[in-house]
Amino acid sequence: MAAKYTEENIRSLDWKEHIRMRPGMYIGKLGDGSTADDGIYILLKEVIDNSIDEYVMGAGKTIDISIQGPRVIVRDYGRGIPLGKVVDVVSKMNTGGKYDTKAFKKSVGLNGVGTKAVNALSSYFRVESTREGVSVSAEFNRGDLIHQERLEETTRRKGTKVTFIPDEEIFKNYKYRHEYVEHLLKNYVFLNPGLTISFNGEKYYSEEGLKDLLGETIKEEERLFPIIHLKGNDIEVALTYSRTQYSEEYHSFVNGQHTTQGGTHQNAFREALIKTVREFYEKNFNPSDIRKSIVAAISIKVMEPVFESQTKTKLGSTEMGGGLPTVRTYVIDFIKKNLDNYLHRHEEVAEKLQRKILSAERERKELSGIRKLARKRAKQVSLHNKKLRDCRIHLNDTSKEGHLDSTLFITEGDSASGSITKSRNVKTQAVFSLKGKPLNSYGLSKKIVYENEEFNLLQAALNIEDSIEDLRYNNIVIATDADVDGMHIRLLLITFFLQFFPEVIKEGHLYILETPLFRVRDKKETIYCYSEEEKRAAIKKLKGKPEITRFKGLGEISPKEFKYFIGEDIRLDPVLLDKEMGIEDMLRFYMGKNTRDRQEFIIDNLRTDLDTLKEEELQLS
């Protein structure tokens, strides 16, 4: 029988109710801060974007940011929000200065939603604006105005100060990770040379923009030649090639927004690179040979950009605006002229690039036969084997946007994969089952990826053979037992990605699944513990003699229990690169021949761990 449909079923939501009911429409996914695109970072970015727009318009050269626990404070020294509109700007939809292109010519936030979403999704939100010695402030709770201070004189510097605490009802057990915040802030200063951002007292600053960004991305000893840095009106490009990396790596931006999924401008850059190189060398090189191992960054400024999602990760605009040609034409013309001039002026660089392309061409031809067989084999195994248990989102939504919530668990053995498969969210979570330990791929060529069945099937499952842009899963999670063998498998898988697909790690897609080591329970309560310290605290809390179970492997955790560990309360530990050590140095140290330095490193860290355990035991005794 059909449900009744009357006037009582019709509801009108106010702005904050709609944001809180459908937060994903405004900030993408929620999360707890363990991944770089979780909602709490989008909230932070939305507030900082307003301060960046002030700097772009020539108002304020410094932004101060403080994050202490859940509380975030962002203070700029720009023009300040017009005092009579402070409340409206943060609490009325379709209200903001960015609708007036005279005040904000090339801004990221054009829809008037940003700070309203932060306000609605925060348990506490305060905005304060100071202009010409007068300030106004207002405080909110989940979007509701709870206190307002009218005009008052002050000696404070002009600008805007926003304080907010993300709502724990929306963002469960969240915490800000320093590494993700730092990456966000560094991109801001790379894109705005001359801007200083202070984060918890640490200052970030750049003089050479995208050249500095690439300088941090790829170590000097790993570059084929010095970074090529090209600048023009509304466009900036930096590029080089890696000596060790196989695939392409791009960092693209529009009006200061990191377009992680690329878009019109990035596609135009790749096209322009092919055209320029072919014409310079007067040879019809294969596009994949030209782009192999490139590391590049492109930033453009567009009037009223159109993005393909609210979180602005992919540019959809085709027009530059302001009487300029299309984005594609503008980028291609700039690259063809400036890169061609650079190669003519720097013969040594041109020769190195030509040798790199010819080397890629030889390797591609050598691998052509084995690649065809490997693809055929991968297809056969996918059809007749349970190596990959895919998620339904790929069947219903083939767009890249639809993959943002998808996760692939890489497990060891059938028992572990069985537990995860039975307890997973089949819509967004997929499982890939390893057979035994992977090969140590350090120092091996790309040929091994096709010859080794496990690597070939994993590459096919991820769809990253040609480019990370085709990656089918936003999160790749290594799920192994918390024992020596499990740790070894983790290390071998991380080596595989570092050796052949380092951008998977650089762009924050690789994680380690944390699962409980112990279950402590009595008749009334069950506590899952992820460390010895948590176990001792649980025993103390439950008192008496609770039942204690040590999980030796993932296969020992029942599917009924496992669903709690890969659901809303999932704990993910991101795999992050050491800032000080290059990839080649890292692999050589950890995965190369056994050296005296590595032996000493292991012994020193073992001693540290033992000392820490002893201190904890003394504190508890």
Q: Are residues 257 and 341 in the same domain?
A: yes
User: Can you read off the two tokens belonging to residue 535?
Assistant: 């176990």
**Who has greater pLDDT, 524 or 310?**
524
Q: Are residues 396 and 494 in the same domain?
A: yes
Q: Are residues 354 and 412 in the same domain?
A: no
Note the pLDDT tens digit of each residue in 331-388. 999 999 999 999 999 999 999 999 999 999 998 888 888 888 887 777 766 655 668 8
- 419 φψ region: left (φ > 0), alpha (ψ -120 to 50), beta (else): alpha
Note the pLDDT tens digit of each residue in 457-501. 888 888 888 777 788 898 999 998 877 888 888 889 998 998 888
Please give the Cα distance from 429 to 390 (Å, whole number): 7
User: Are 548 and 535 within 8 A, CB to CB?
Assistant: yes
For range 427-439, the mean pLDDT: 87
Find residue 239's DSSP bridge partners: 228, 296
Confidence at residue 11, expressed as pLDDT on a 0 to 100 scale: 53
Q: Which stretches of 234-346 are DSSP H helices?
A: 264-281, 287-291, 327-345
**Who has greater pLDDT, 231 or 97?**
231
Q: Are residues 150 and 103 in the same domain?
A: yes
| 97 assigned to some structural domain | yes
Confidence at residue 101, expressed as pLDDT on a 0 to 100 scale: 45
Q: Is the per-residue pLDDT at 614 higher than 60?
A: no
Q: Which one-letter amino acid corresponds to residue 285? A: F
User: How many independent structural domains does the chain possess?
Assistant: 5
Confidence at residue 347, expressed as pLDDT on a 0 to 100 scale: 95
Q: Are residues 495 and 524 in the same domain?
A: no
| 2 assigned to some structural domain | no
**Who has greater pLDDT, 617 or 351?**
351
How sure is the predictor about 401, in pLDDT bands with cuts at 50, 70 and 90? Answer: low
| 370 assigned to some structural domain | no
Q: Are residues 359 and 418 in the same domain?
A: no
**Who has greater pLDDT, 503 or 598?**
503
Please give the Cα distance from 334 to 387 (Å, whole number): 47
Q: Is the per-residue pLDDT at 389 higher than 50?
A: yes
Note the pLDDT tens digit of each residue in 1-48. 555 645 555 455 666 777 888 887 788 788 888 888 889 999 999 999
Q: Which one-letter amino acid corresponds to residue 519? A: R
Q: Are residues 421 and 340 in the same domain?
A: no
Q: Is the per-residue pLDDT at 226 higher than 80?
A: yes
Last residue of a domain, one of 181, 205, 229: 205
Q: Are residues 110 and 180 in the same domain?
A: yes
Q: Is the per-residue pLDDT at 100 higher than 90?
A: no
Confidence at residue 273, expressed as pLDDT on a 0 to 100 scale: 96
User: Can you read off the two tokens belonging to residue 270?
Assistant: 């790749």
Note the pLDDT tens digit of each residue in 125-157. 999 999 988 999 999 999 889 988 888 888 889
| 525 assigned to some structural domain | yes
How sure is the predictor about 53, in pLDDT bands with cuts at 50, 70 and 90? Answer: confident
User: Can you read off the two tokens belonging to residue 558?
Assistant: 């029942």
Last residue of a domain, one of 166, 188, 205: 205
Say which residue the tokens 């090209």 belong to.
230
Long-range contacts of 416-422 (CB under 8 A, 24+ apart): 416/479, 416/480, 416/481, 416/553, 416/554, 416/555, 417/389, 418/555, 418/559, 419/554, 419/555, 419/557, 419/558, 419/559, 419/562, 420/479, 420/554, 420/562, 420/566, 421/389, 422/559, 422/562
Last residue of a domain, one of 506, 534, 550: 550
| 392 assigned to some structural domain | yes
Supply the mean pLDDT for the chain: 83
Q: Are residues 562 and 621 in the same domain?
A: no
Q: Are residues 302 and 393 in the same domain?
A: no
The residue segments making up the domain with residue 89 are 16-205
User: Are 152 and 133 within 8 A, CB to CB?
Assistant: no
Q: Which residues contact 379 (CB under 8 A, 6 or more apart)?
A: 460
Q: Are residues 315 and 448 in the same domain?
A: no
Q: Which of 19-28, 46-55, 516-525 has the lowest mean pLDDT?
A: 19-28
Q: Which residues contact 236 (CB under 8 A, 6 or more apart)?
A: 209, 210, 229, 230, 297, 298, 299, 300
Q: Is the per-residue pLDDT at 308 higher than 80?
A: no
Q: Is the per-residue pLDDT at 206 higher than 90?
A: yes
| 377 assigned to some structural domain | no
**Beta carbons within 10 angstroms of residue 275's beta carbon:** 15
Specify the CATH number for the domain of residue 35.
3.30.565.10
Specify the CATH number for the domain of residue 255.
3.30.230.10
Q: Are residues 62 and 141 in the same domain?
A: yes
Specify the CATH number for the domain of residue 474.
3.40.50.670
| 531 assigned to some structural domain | yes
